[in-house]
Structure 1
Amino acid sequence: MLADLMQKFEKASASYAASNSIERDPDWFMLKLQEEVGEVTQAWNRLTARGRARGKTPEEMKQDLSDEVADLLGHVLLLAHHNQLDLIGSIERKWRFDPAAID
């Protein structure tokens, strides 16, 4: 399940990078992850009235937060995929459950 999700994000990211002439060198994966953390923070700040709403409704701001969290998840998975990290093993060690056993 997680490996399939990583592959789907990898395919989408590689396609986007190719069509926009973006070089995804080893640093790119970490830098994009950091960029997305900042965007999640900005969306959170807007939603919680710590930043300018920019004319958006609370529902739109919540959607923005959801979109940015999705980007963050994607970039976490891309970083793990690119570096051949064993996320399943790490989840089992750190979170003490088997992600494959999720209903």
Structure 2
Amino acid sequence: MTLSELTVSVLRISDIYAAEHRIDRDRDWALLKLQEELGELTAEHLRLTSRARGEPDAEVLGDEAADVLGMLLIYCARAGIDLDEAMRRKWLRWLEPGEAA
């Protein structure tokens, strides 16, 4: 599955979820949700590294990472960001000969 295909699926799931739970996804909703999910990932990381109370669960850490990625894909789609292109421009160019200085 490509990043573009994943984004299409995530957007469909987000639409279904929003309709079922009557969520008003206004202009800044995706960014705020991304921040919320990053907080949940951080909390689970702290539990796994014995720096917070609660039972650590490596599977939950993966689930929270998936939530962060999903919300990032939604944010980028709503903001008109071509994430494939942005990754090529910002990161992948360093793998091309002569790019790393």
Q: Same fold (TM over 0.5)?
A: yes
**Residues 18-47 of structure 1: per-residue CA shift (max 9 Å, x gap):** 000101111101100000010000000000
Provide TM-score, normalisation by structure 1: 0.85
User: Could you tell me which amino acid in structure 1 is paired with residue 46 of structure 2?
Assistant: N
What does 1:11-22 correspond to in 2, within 5 Å?
11-22=12-23
Which residue number corresponds to residue 33 of structure 2?
32
Q: CA deviation at 1:3?
A: 1.3
2: distance between equivalents of 1:89 and 1:72? 20
The 4+ residue runs of structure 1 with deviation greater than 4 A are none
Number of residue-to-residue matches in the alignment: 92
2: distance between equivalents of 1:6 and 1:84? 12
1: distance between equivalents of 2:11 and 2:27? 14
Structure 2 counterpart SS, 1:26: coil
Q: For structure 2, which runs of at least 5 residues remain unmatched after alignment?
A: 94-101
Q: CA deviation at 1:83?
A: 1.3
1: distance between equivalents of 2:87 and 2:41? 23
